[in-house]
Amino acid sequence: MKPRIEISGEKRLVGMKLVMSLANYNIGELWRSFLPRRGEIRNNLTDELISMVIYPPGYFEDFNPLNEFVRWATVEVSNFEHIPSEMEKYTLDSGLYAVFDHKGSDANSVFQYIFSSWLPNSDFQLDERPHFEVLGEKYKNNDPNSEEEIWIPIKSN
């Protein structure tokens, strides 16, 4: 699996966030809170969902499944003029990413490949910026035919 290397432009996101860890992975709770209210967000740029993760500095160097991170369920908007109650805004800065097209229901194996094989053997290193997945029209949760894009922040070695 070979990624394409892209520069993502700045994205204005609106959604909900939840602190979690891999040991206490509450992603279902996050999306169950967000999806019923998604229609309240105005000025959507696309129909795609963006699942974003903000890891604290050093998260991957001192990996522990109990280490916490912030997971967001969002959509991209043209502006921040109307933010529904209990939702927040986030500006995702432009940056360099390795983009992996993933098909299937087991994303864990893709992440394992990215961090244990592709990244150590590439001309890049992980950058401490948000990671995100783009869940478009072909995304179907837990379906073997589901498709998504996995965006990993990188910088040159």
Residue 118: CATH number of its domain: 3.20.80.10
Q: Which structural domain, as residue segments, surrounds residue 137? A: 4-156
Structural domain count, the chain: 1
Please list the rounded mean pLDDT of every run of 10 residues in the chain (157 residues): 95 98 95 96 95 95 92 98 96 98 86 94 96 92 87 96
Find tokens 């604290």 and name the residue.
56
Residue 28 has what pLDDT?
Answer: 94
Phi, psi angle pair for 6, to nearest 5°: -135, 155
Q: What whole-number distance in Å separates Cα of residue 94 and Cα of residue 10?
A: 4
Backbone CA torsion sign across 123, 53, 70, 23:
negative
Find tokens 């991170």 and name the residue.
69
Residue 51 has what pLDDT?
Answer: 97
